[in-house]
Amino acid sequence: MVYSEECDFIFRLKGILEFACQLDNPNGAQSQSTISKSFQDLRSKVSSKNIVFTVCNSPVLIWPNTGFQSSVESLTEASACGDILQCIESDDGGSKKSSKKKDKKKSGPTVVNMKLLFEVTEPAGDEAPSLIRVSTPQHCVKMPLPLDCTLSVTPDESLAIVCTGLVEALNKQLADMERVVLWYRKGSSFLVPQPFHFQLPKPAGLITVIYPAGVPDSQLQAIREDLHRKFKLPCDRPYLRRANAFHFPDAAYKDGYLHNPHIHLNPPNTEDAKLYLVQGVYSYHHYMQDHVDDNGWGCAYRSLQTICSWFQQQGYVETAVPTHTQIQQALVDVGDKEPRFVGSRQWIGSIEVQAVLNQLLGVTSKIMFVSKGSELATKGRELANHFQTEGTPVMIGGGILAHTILGVAWSENTGQIRFLILDPHYTGGEDLQTITDKGWCGWKGPEFWDQNAYYNLCLPQRPKTI
């Protein structure tokens, strides 16, 4: 299913189906057909009249396979799917449609969450129970299948088409899960198939890939290579590692940090300028986080942590964002600092950031030097090229301050430039409105820099891998 800028709604359907089968001989020739038969039974189940979709935080129940029936009289098969928002309660008790907040900038599509249910009672028939005695040993296999399907549509699409699309997505996902189970099983030992959603460049859009639980990304490279070829993706950066999974706009991040606060900003009013921005997801690291009082000395550490979070969340590394102590120890390990540096409150700069990225993440960086801050206004082409090709956050240090550059608005014709700055000197809580309204994440002109101080910029380079 494809999500594009024209698709304002994502319907997301989640539920658990229990897979069960009995194998006479787990390694026998008939075991594969037995497993496939069990999956076929599940596909028949989701295509039956007993399937029910319930819309979260609403009284809406929909029977998609009975000619479309709804528990809400006003919702019919011809209703626009956007009408369903009137039935969904928001956090403040009103309808989701009427209580929509006006963000500075729309940061993603509206997500309608649904759950998969089944009616368990049916009219009694003429059937009688039967008993079968099996004399040979049987291996009984049971496991939960975590179904998670998406459908991206425009708000005027009919509910009937949405429901039909979701049933088709369920059937396809079960077929994909069957292939994964058969490929990775060993006798009666099965790996649970897990769905992951990925937002790919157009025209692919939002896709779903099934990976086996417990198999690390390092062992799934052949699968990713096939998918890169299928969707004509570049082969120099990861798109389909688990860390690249699509983050739904209505879902909270679990690590406690703000992510990508810049997407809530409006672009600057710079004549004839194009935007060149950080690509992907990062977390905002700043003073006083993680129970560490680094006010006055830790700004470069925090900028480095933001950069490390970017490499982690793009799937390049699986290691956690380093602490101040781990950063200092890395500098000791490479011979840049004496052992007494660990545990101190000494500043670091762009050169140290470059060394730590290489030591802890295996990431190389370029260093850009300007002898005074006024020269930064002339670096639009270099910075635009960096964000266009590498897309990584840039650490800049000058005088006694460090900041993170997330992008530039630059006009090739006039040379005008504005810098998108993430400021690590913020000491408050994770309050998005304060951070954006007060300029802790915001667009700054060339006058933001100390015009007479020299600056070093650390421009991390992407590893060439998928």
359-376 pLDDT per residue, tens: 999 999 999 999 999 999
For the ranges 18-32, 36-50, 177-191, the lowest mean pLDDT is seen at: 18-32
Q: Please write the tens of the pLDDT for every residue from 34-52.
A: 999 999 999 999 999 999 9
Domains and CATH numbers, the chain: 9-87+108-120+137-244 (no CATH), 261-460 (3.90.70.130)
Say what the pLDDT of residue 126 is. Answer: 66
CA distance linking residue 31 with residue 25, whole number of Å: 7
Question: In 66-94, which positions are buried (b, 16+ CB within 10 angstroms) versus exposed (e)?
Answer: eebebebeebebebbbbbbbebbeeeeee
Beta strands in 84-166 (DSSP E): 110-118, 139-153
pTM above threshold 0.75: yes
Does 234 have pLDDT greater than 80? yes
User: What's at 309, amino acid-wise?
Assistant: S
Q: Are 402 and 299 in contact (CB under 8 A)?
A: yes
At 312, the pLDDT band (50, 70, 90 cuts) reads very high
pLDDT 10s digits, 89-111: 876 556 665 444 444 455 678 99
Residue 217 CB contacts under 8 Å (≥ 6 apart), including other chains:
241, 242, 243, 315, 318
Which residue type occupies 389?
A: T
For residue 346, is pLDDT > 80? yes
For position 357, what pLDDT does the model report? 98
Query: Which residues are catalytically annotated?
Result: 299, 423, 425
pLDDT surpassing 70 at residue 287:
yes
- CA distances to 302, 367, 458 from 364, rounded to whole Å, are 19, 10, 10
Q: Which of 256, 141, 118 is nearest to 187 (CA)?
A: 141
**What pLDDT score was predicted for residue 53?**
97
**Quick one: pLDDT at residue 211?**
98
Q: Looking at the predicted structure, is the pLDDT value of residue 4 above 80?
A: no
- The C-alpha atoms of residue 327 and residue 324 are separated, in whole angstroms, by 5
Cβ 117 vs Cβ 54: under 8 Å: yes
Closest listed residue to residue 45, CA positions, set 68, 17, 69, 13: 17
pLDDT of residue 95: 62
Confidence grade of residue 6 (pLDDT, cut at 50, 70, 90): low
pLDDT tens-digit readout, 381-428: 999 999 999 999 999 998 889 999 999 999 999 999 999 999 999 999
Using a pLDDT cut of 90, give the percent of the chain over it.
Answer: 82
Tell me which amino acid residue 366 is: K
| Closest C-alpha to 361, from 402, 308, 414, 413 | 308
